[in-house]
Amino acid sequence: MDIARIVELNAVYARAIDTEQFEEWPRLFHDPCLYKVTTADNVAKGMESGLIYADTRGMLEDRISSLRKVNIYEQQRYRHIVGLPVVLGQANGAAETETPFLIVRIMRDGKMEVFATGCYRDKVRLDAANTPRFAERIVICDGGRFDTLVAIPF
């Protein structure tokens, strides 16, 4: 798969979250899929379980519905800065890539802070309409102190 298409998928992903068009987010995945948020420490220790886990588009949609009900995201804003992907390999029609990210949180009063950094470890495959989507997105955070119950997608 052309790397330009992977870059584009990453850009669209970040924009869907930062513009709070959360309902667009599940559509960027295949169904079934794997979406997991974990930490570099957990990965280093071989711990498989994540802080957040979903393996269908329905589970991703449920997450967004909950988020909309809690409404807590309205008190802050997020900004993803996504770096350049490294292609690790191609297997079974999927490109395996790793892409660094930085998320800044902007509070209502204008205060800004680095909220999270890490890398996305992805498997990207084309769907029937030739659109690239995530078969897997494992979000590996460098640190790890998040209130994952009410978190926006990473």
**7-36 residues near a copy of itself, rule: CB under 8 A:** 7-8, 10-12, 14-15, 18
Binding of residue 119 to a copy of itself (CB under 8 A): yes
How many binding residues for a copy of itself (CB under 8 A)?
Answer: 39
CB 64 within 8 A of CB 25: yes
In sequence order, the 6+-apart residues with CB closer than 8 A to the CB of 82 are 10, 11, 13, 14, 99, 100, 101, 120
DSSP letter (8 states) at residue 110: S
- With CB under 8 A as the contact rule, the residue among 47, 72, 81, 149 that binds a copy of itself is 81
Closest CA to 50 of 138, 149, 147, 152: 138
Task: Return the residues of window 37-66 that contact a copy of itself according to CB under 8 A.
Answer: 40
Among 47, 70, 72, 86, binds a copy of itself (CB under 8 A): 86
CA dist., res. 99 & res. 86, Å (int): 6
83 scored as a contact of a copy of itself (CB under 8 A): yes
Binding window for a copy of itself (CB under 8 A); candidates: 23-31, 57-65, 74-82, 130-138: 74-82
Helices (H), the chain: 3-18, 40-44, 57-70
| Positions in the binding site for a copy of itself (CB under 8 A) | 3-4, 7-8, 10-12, 14-15, 18, 40, 77, 79-86, 98, 100-102, 104, 106, 110-114, 116-119, 142-145
